[in-house]
Amino acid sequence: MKVTLDQDKCVASGQCVVAADHVFDQDDDGIAVLLDPAPSPARADDVHQAAAVCPALAIRIED
Ligand code: SF4
């Protein structure tokens, strides 16, 4: 699984961190930061959930 995050699209809602806090964090301005661009399969459900709930469609996943 490969994850990419478009910080230019991010609107700092924090939903991705709630869904997958091992993979996403937020900087001081609330913009998402990608902690792990290649999460383990065990985190796949959480990462898919993060992408699904992101209001800015800033998270892309390649399985
Ligand atoms: S859910 Fe989307 S818009 Fe919200 S912080 Fe994460 S990447 Fe940014």
HEC readout, the chain = CEEEECCCCCCCCCHHHHHCCCCEEECCCCCEEECCCCCCHHHHHHHHHHHHHCCCCCEEEEC
Q: What are the pLDDT digits (tens) for 25-56?
A: 999 999 999 999 999 999 999 999 999 999 99
Q: Is the CB of 23 under 6 A from ligand 1?
A: no
Its pTM stands at: 0.96
Banded pLDDT at 3 (limits 50, 70, 90):
very high
Q: Are 37 and 6 in contact (CB under 8 A)?
A: no
Q: Which residue is closest in CA terms to ligand 1's atom 4?
A: 13
* Position 11, amino acid: V
Mean pLDDT of 2-7: 98
16 lines ligand 1 (CB under 6 A): yes
- Which pair of tokens denotes residue 59? 């998270």
The predicted pLDDT at position 63 comes to: 82
